[in-house]
Amino acid sequence: MTRVPIAERIQEYINKKCIYFCMPGHKMGRGFNRDEIGKGILKNIITGDLTEVDGLDNLHKPEEVLREELELLRKIYSTEKSYFLVNGSTSGNMIMIFSAFEENDKIIVERNCHKSIMNGIILRKLKPVYVDPYNYDKYDTPLVPQEELIIEMMEKNEDAKGIILTYPNYFGICFDLEKIIIKAKELNMMVIIDSAHGAHFGFNARLPKSAVELGADVVVVSAHKTLPSLTQTAYLHVNNLELVEKVDRYFSMFSSTSPSYLFMQSMAYSRYYLEKYAEKDYHYLIDVCEYYKQKINDLNKFKVFNENRSYINIDRTRYTIIVPIGYSGKKLYDYLLYNNIQPEMSNHRCVVLILSYFNTKEEFEKLYEVLRNCNMENIKDDSYSFKMQEIKPIVKFLPHEAINMKKVSMNVVECEGEICGEEIIPYPPGIPLLNPGELITKEAIEYIQFCLKNNIQIFGVDRDKILILENN
């Protein structure tokens, strides 16, 4: 029988009627039901699937309606220039890296960066120096690097052309970016910020400040992750006028020549949403989030991350639910899913939920009840017996050198002491465990085996084989 399996699969998923504590931020269309303008967009969701036809503007040379929209976007985020990205923050990271750096530049980068940053580093042939995340021993989870460590790396590597940081990280946690930017200016370093999870920052005083406001040179934010915008949409913001010419060039190289007007319309709607509703909606949402956070923490089963330390600030519209030692974040994720709650992601110690104004109070209540009823025996797991911080990168070749060397496939268990030929990335969230050119350690092998055993998707591993450099 002739079928369209993907359509069947999507229908099956919709039929489950899950509670979406995940992206996209419009939560299955609800975000567009906020008012008549949004409803109009929903109504035209297929007929509006246009590209640069007569009467509509060209994204690569905006002169009319897109020019007007981009000016509105620039104003609301207070930037020198802003762009609509139709190829996700992934393309934004490429554009930022190509615009800010030249081949062979040394740069400082957070090890916990997204894979698109690593790909940009490889393609631009940069020399990365990594900043390790700080491991919160209490939770055995790497959260954000401490700014002291970042600043120390900057002082040790004064010849670096710039620094690339993730703000906030996947857990909604931010370090004191302002302090780092001040240091970077002192050392004449460019500050590139992947703020994919922070498109809403700065629009309510109870949210962290935006990276743009704090003075980063160039920033990418994903509209689709936290705002009512379609999947794949993002904004690129330039604060540094000197970069504009190059950003224009690389924007054109890394963007589709058939940009979807549905995407651009939804990005425009998100900008409008921020302008009109953000202050009020985020105030309400944070109240609800804080209320249920307290209730969940009072269960004394899990801990919704809430550290109040001087050097971190958190996005209060996101829950990172940490399970006690000896229990599994992945098993809690599966349990929530079994109860029709779709989380954003999990790792061995936590589950991340992206919460929105478009999630109802009933949905928060259901989350609370499901967590309350969780039989902790069922999420026990003592197979994870090593510490994340033991997985330190040992660089033997630069990533762009290793990527072009001859490779062979080898069983993971036999790879200790070999050099990795391919990025090995557990997903989500897409943080590299090993980059090309790095020594494969016992700890990395254990982590790969842990992912395989627990059905955690891991790119760069084909069944139980990985690519290593041939002649080492």
Using DSSP's 3-state secondary structure scheme, residue 82 falls into: strand
Q: Which of 79, 82, 116, 119 binds ligand PLP (CB under 6 A)?
A: 116
Which residues contact residue 12 at a Cβ distance below 8 angstroms, ignoring those fewer than 6 apart?
Answer: none
Residues 48-107 that bind ligand PLP (CB under 6 A): 88-90, 93
DSSP string, 133-163: PPEETTTTEE----HHHHHHHHHHTTT--EE
How far is it, in rounded angstroms, from Cα 427 to Cα 331?
A: 16
Nearest distance in Å: CB 114, ligand PLP: 3
User: 96 vs 398, which CB is nearer to ligand PLP?
Assistant: 96
Is residue 111 a contact residue for ligand PLP (CB under 6 A)? Answer: no
User: 225 vs 303, which CB is nearer to ligand PLP?
Assistant: 225
Nearest distance in Å: CB 134, ligand PLP: 17
Residues 190-249 that bind ligand PLP (CB under 6 A): 194, 196-197, 222, 234
Of the ranges 69-77, 189-197, 286-294, 399-407, which one interacts with ligand PLP (CB under 6 A)? 189-197
Comparing CA positions, the residue from 382, 254, 256, 306 lying closest to residue 143 is 306
DSSP string, 380-437: B-----S-GGG----BSS-HHHHTTS-EEEEEGGG-TT-BB-S-BEETTTT--SB-TT
Nearest distance in Å: CB 170, ligand PLP: 6
Residue 284: other Cβ atoms inside 10 A: 12
Using DSSP's 3-state secondary structure scheme, residue 344 falls into: coil
Give the count of residues interacting with ligand PLP (CB under 6 A). Answer: 15
Residues 346-385 that bind ligand PLP (CB under 6 A): none
Is residue 429 a contact residue for ligand PLP (CB under 6 A)? Answer: yes
Query: Which tokens in the block code for residue 231?
Result: 């999947």
Is residue 133 a contact residue for ligand PLP (CB under 6 A)? Answer: no
How far is it, in rounded angstroms, from Cα 96 to Cα 117?
A: 9
Comparing CA positions, the residue from 227, 159, 228 lying closest to residue 199 is 227
CA-only gyration radius of the chain, Å: 22
User: 221 vs 448, which CB is nearer to ligand PLP?
Assistant: 221
Nearest distance in Å: CB 196, ligand PLP: 3
Is residue 313 a contact residue for ligand PLP (CB under 6 A)? Answer: no
User: 220 vs 469, which CB is nearer to ligand PLP?
Assistant: 220
Binding site for ligand PLP (CB under 6 A): 88-90, 93, 114, 116, 166, 170, 194, 196-197, 222, 234, 429-430
